[in-house]
Structure 1
Amino acid sequence: MAVASDIAALPARERGRSWLLRFLVKLGSLIVSVVLTVLGLLLVTFMIGRVIPVDPLLAMVGDRASEEIRARAAAEMGLDLPLWQQFIRYLGDVLQGDLGNSVLSGQPVLTDIGRFFPATLELATTATLLGVCLGVPLGVLAATRHGRWQDQIIRIVALAGYSVPVFWLGLVGLLLFYAKLDWVAGPGRIDVAYEYSIEPVTGLMLVDTLLAHDTDAFFDALSHLILPASVLGYFSLAYITRMTRSLMLAELGHEYIVAARVKGLPERRVIWRHAVGNIMVPLITTIALSYAYLLEGAVLTETVFAWPGLGLYITQSLFSADLTAVLGATIVIGLVFIGLNLLSDVLYTLVDPRAT
């Protein structure tokens, strides 16, 4: 009896070891790929800082500084070292959380990013939620009504989202909904009357106003957020709708969908449980990429709406030739992409255990 039980238990042990081995191999390859990606990101940003025809010494000491002052500043910044030594020094500084000091603000770049990034995070997150909540159902509807008038209208709406320039749409939105109809608040993140009465706890204005128990400030911040989030969310909606439609059209052509319908399963269950369930892995990738692009590509939206986020910070730094701030923000954006890709991998295993 004991021998029989040991034999029966052996395949389970082997399966457990095999799963553990696959998990460790995937974890190791994931760590190696992340390390190589981060090193590549840092190398690219370092080379950009050396290739762009902007003199960092000029931005730091001015154009009237003597050669002695320039030489001293170059030594302090390590610009007198060979290129490979400069990269090693740059790599060590970044790994310690030192992205340099901004010429424009005189503060560490990481401090500036910590002040500006929450605004971009709040804007991009709201826009992505709008894109997902509307884009996925619209994409599913377009696929299930393929070739009909619903499909045509949804395709036109999605195509317009790719075609209309974001700055034009933002200006028209401000003119119509703010200047003419007065439905929403204007540029900025919150009214001046509330700006200094809200203590920045999380950096997210909606959360901070709720923590301060100030409902008037909350609705004012929400009124400022609605229009830029809707403009940015429209582009997220267009991308997610088109990708969901394409994925669903391919999935609805599989034989198991026909078999489920022949068995008499309700159409709602066939569509939302079986078809949508099987496109979740590529759909997660689509949503993650859309979110990352909104975090990185909100420059025009933030400029039009005077939204004090990372995009506006990069724009102001570019106009001021503050290369240190621009490269620091670029590193943060790159790390956001890497982090979202890692999050996608984790969600894959939760949605589809076969991904392990």
Structure 2
Amino acid sequence: MGRSNTANPAISPANNHNACGIKPRTEPQDLAFEPNTLDASPRAIKLPWASGRAGRFIVGLAGFVISVALTFLGLLAITFFIGRVVPIDPQGDFGKSVSTGKPVIEDLKRVFPATLEMATIGIIIGMVLGIPMGVYAASHRGTVRDQIIRVIGLFGYAVPAFWLGLVGLAIFYAKLKWVSGPGRVDIFYDGLVTPVTGLMLVDSLIAGETEIFWNALSHLILPAGVLGFFSLAYIARMTRSFMLDQLAQEYVTTARVKGVPERLVIWRHAFRPILVPLITVCGLSYAGLLEGSVMVEKIFSWPGIGNYLTAALLNADMSAVLGATLVIGAVFIGINKISDALYRILDPRAR
């Protein structure tokens, strides 16, 4: 009987290696087709430039820029869609104002700094007074002082802006003569300061006109104070709410048990964690002052973007309306994005 040429599986090289406890060698070409030898997870696939802290910063910055661009593009699309519906054909350059006969962009450069100046002083008043009031109310919860601060906050939510402005004019301007009346400066100071930044307080100091500076501040303090009161009410209420949450935490109780002074417990242990959400609150309040100052500007004859927008609406000046709307929307987007960026910087958990 002839010998068969078929190899016996029992004595094949692979089985011989296994029998001896030796793992068969895997060739490179076989390794490429092994299903479990490559990690296909997204974490394993990293771009060279996206690794490390610098890479994460670049990716985050790119996402921030894309988000701002897409948001502003949506604002442009909505605004110019509205412009197509009304009887006007936007050209993309804001056009010329029917009311003033000047390009809208020049009018906006003139009126927006006035609103920015008033809103900035208003938010400073709201932050300087509102944050301590909220902290004080939370640390004295249930007392008469807490109730007074809460009533002030409720009053700031309920009272109309035009009513508060009229009362302020009647008391502090007409009766007490503590502040100047409507307008940005007295009529005989108008036009004496060359606009550099558009901010009257800054430009008067640059020009060395201290008398005009104090006159402009006297005109500014009442409308900015009205805006600051509404900002104060909002910031104080939110600060109180944040502080009550923190004062109920166990680490605050532990600090008090250890004998840490109450001042340090409040401002170091309880107040620091609320700085991040307070930034968002103050940013939203600032944006609200910039876009919601129409009534205040109208009452005080303040030459800002709110007064300009009101006049444009009454005169059916749609080029001016679209331009002012775009500027207000762009500022609102910018402030929100800056708040988000500060949030990420101060809170590592949000990175």
Taking structure 2 as the reference length, the TM-score comes to 0.82
Question: What is the CA–CA distance in structure 1 between the aligned matches of 2:243 and 2:338, rounded to whole Å?
Answer: 23
Counterpart amino acid of residue 55 in structure 1: P
% identical equivalent positions: 59
Residue 313 (structure 1) aligns with: 308
1:132 aligns with 2:127: yes
CA contact (8 A) 2:280 2:343 kept: no
Aligned with residue 37 of structure 1, among 59, 62, 71: 71
Q: Distance in 1 between matches of 2:195 and 2:57?
A: 41
270-279 or 296-305: bigger deviation: 270-279
- C-alpha deviations, 1:303-350, integer Å up to 9, x for none? 000000000000010011011111111111111111112211332244
2:87 matches 1:55? yes
Structure-to-structure mapping, 1:1-356, within 5 angstroms? 17-51=51-85, 54-56=86-88, 77=89, 93=92, 98-356=93-351
Q: Distance in 1 between matches of 2:133 and 2:306?
A: 29
> Gaps spanning 5+ residues in structure 1: where?
1-13, 57-76, 79-89
> Displacement of 1:150 after TM fit?
1.2
Counterpart CA distance in 2 for 1:148 and 1:101 is 58
Shift of 1:21: 4.1
State the number of aligned residues.
303
Deviation at 1:48, TM superposition (A): 2.1
SS at match of 1:279: helix
Bigger Cα Rg: 2
- For 2:117 and 2:51, locate their aligned partners in 1 and report how far apart those are by CA, in whole Å: 43
Tell me how far apart the structure 2 counterparts of residues 346 and 313 of structure 1 sit (CA, whole Å): 31
**What letter matches 2:150 in structure 1?**
R
Conservation of the 8 A alpha-carbon contact between 2:184 and 2:302: yes
1:61 corresponds in structure 2 to none
Alpha-carbon distance, 1:269 to partner: 1.5
Give the drift of 1:274: 2.1
Q: Specify the SS of the correspondent of 2:277.
A: helix
SS in 1 for 2:172: helix
Q: Tell me how far 1:31 sits from its aligned partner.
A: 2.2
Which range moves more in the overlay, 289-298 or 189-198? 189-198
- Cα RMSD of the aligned pairs, angstroms, is 1.8
Alignment partners' CA distance in 1, 2:187 and 2:302? 14
Bigger helix fraction: 1
Gaps of 5+ in 2: 1-47
Residue type matched to 1:236 in 2? S
Which amino acid in structure 1 is aligned with residue 74 of structure 2? G
- Matched residue type, 1:333: I
TM-score normalised per structure 1: 0.81
| Letter aligned with residue 43 of structure 1 | A
**How far apart, CA to CA, are the structure 1 residues paired with 2:199 and 2:58?**
37
> 1:118 corresponds to which letter in structure 2?
P
Structure 2 CA distance, aligned partners of 1:129 and 1:213? 24
Name the aligned partner's letter for residue 293 of structure 2: A
- Deviation, 1:271, is 1.2
- Residue aligning to 1:65: none
Farther-moved stretch of structure 1 (253-262 vs 232-241): 253-262
